Structure 1
Amino acid sequence: MIKMSEEHNQEIGQALQGARIEKGLSLDDIQQMTKIQKRYLQAIENGQFDQLPGKFYERAFVRQYAASVGLDADEFIKDHASDEDLKPVEPDFEGARVDTDNITRAGMHRETESPVDKTRQVMPKVLIAVAAVAIVLIVWALVSAFSGTSKSATNSSSVAVSSSKVESSSSSKKASSKPAPKPAPKQPAVKVGNGVVSGNTVTYNNIQAPKKEEVLQLAATSDAWLQVTDNAGTMLFNGTVKANAPQSIKVPATATNIKMQIGNANPLKVKFGNQDIDMKNNGATVWNANLMIKH
């Protein structure tokens, strides 16, 4: 996105640094606002874009920096980019991670789950299994008690039941003469399921949807940049979702995978088939999502 010449990058960094100083903000303030690591912010101000993880991060980080100091991110990008720079960029999240302080960093490894984290993940399943067994035992006890008391009630009520057969028979004949109303056909609804987070990606592996065109709804409380493509490689959306200006994207009936690459995930709200899609980004700004659709 950004021209890679040292002189041009320094112009970008100086413009952002000047806007920050004019606002009376420190780099620590910008880090807190954008969740971008301070050393990357310093590299941007120095025009050292080779210190950033990749071109997608350049685009996302510069946009975030510009917005945090009160600049129009889109106008800033247009003023400092050529037509070649504005082409879609395939992001590389392999080296990226979000630490426990919600700061986006890049490194040579991914964080591994600790035994405590694994225990926390397994514990809810164990509790659910215990609760299910308890419910089965309670139901079995209630059924056993009810069957014992119903035997004595059956003997005393047999006379009343036999005398009511004639009346129920005549009334059933009258009722059967009226045609039963036809139930309204049910329209299949979209079912999202649970998303699984791995690194900087949330994946929904089992979205149930009818084989027809659906709508992906995007809304944001502040500017959010993203790209949306389908399994055929078709670009469905590439741009900025403005605050309070929602976007509706048509998803083809043939689509089985929707890939979202997001430069500012915090203010973004997503719905598919009018069902909420939780980004589960835990404060991370650079994020992506995979929606696996089954018809």
Structure 2
Amino acid sequence: MTGLGARLKEARVAKGYTLDDLQGITKIQKRYLSGIESEDYSMMPGTFYIRAFIKQYAEAVDLDADEMLALYKEESGDTPEEEQENIAPPTLQRSGGLKSNSKLKEIMPKVIVALFIVMIIVIVYILFREKAAETPLEKDTPTQNVPLIKETPGQPDTEKPVDEDKNASEETPEEPEEPIEETEQQLELESSAGETSTFTLSNSDELKLVIKTTGDSWISVTDQSGTERMPAPGGRIMTAGETIEIDATEAVSVRIRVGRTNSTELIVNDQVLEYPNERLTQNIIIKKP
């Protein structure tokens, strides 16, 4: 049992509705509503109607309809018709792979021979260039007569070398740069009301989430525009031992719907988020300032 009926009944009682009241709101017969709460679907007209009735019931008592349908699917193993239609048999590509391998084996010897020929041509060309660049040494090079300059006593030396290293040694030493202090990120609780809590993330340009589960838990992550950021197929039940990483750096804010906080760990930029209360189901909103 997944607790679907108990969750729905608890929400109905919290709203102050009786089954007669809910029948008037949803236009669903009272016996069907009672069957959903007891998780007995034997009197239902079909799977399509079961899903439709659960969705209407959840919306009438302000519960997440997708989460309730996922709980029903987890219990019954039901697969929606539209998902069944989208399942296509895998394409066998083994024969194509074998053909490609055989062609590659036929071509490979020719490629090796061609590379060997090209290598020989390159080596011959390099040796030819080196031999052509060599020039014979001139054995009988005439000695050039270099005129000798006689120094006259008392004559000042007008051409003295300038001590260039003196100026180089007098350069001003560079002052060491002061180290830049890194500011740690701040993840602060801004407000908390009922199931919803809002956190502000500051001193960080990144917004990376890591979600880990030690038990089954419904998880959904949406940004400020309502776009689902969970990997396909989106919001779903994460099973025990799963880990999902989500990079939402470009988002202004994200909303994390946690079905079971006691088996779900949220990590924001390597910082573990502490839940503000002990509610089993919570909505966590993280926004940038």
TM-score bracket, normalised by the shorter chain, equals 0.3 to 0.5
Could you tell me the TM-score, scaled by structure 1's length? Answer: 0.44
Q: TM-score, normalised by structure 2?
A: 0.45
Q: Which one has a bigger Cα radius of gyration?
A: 2
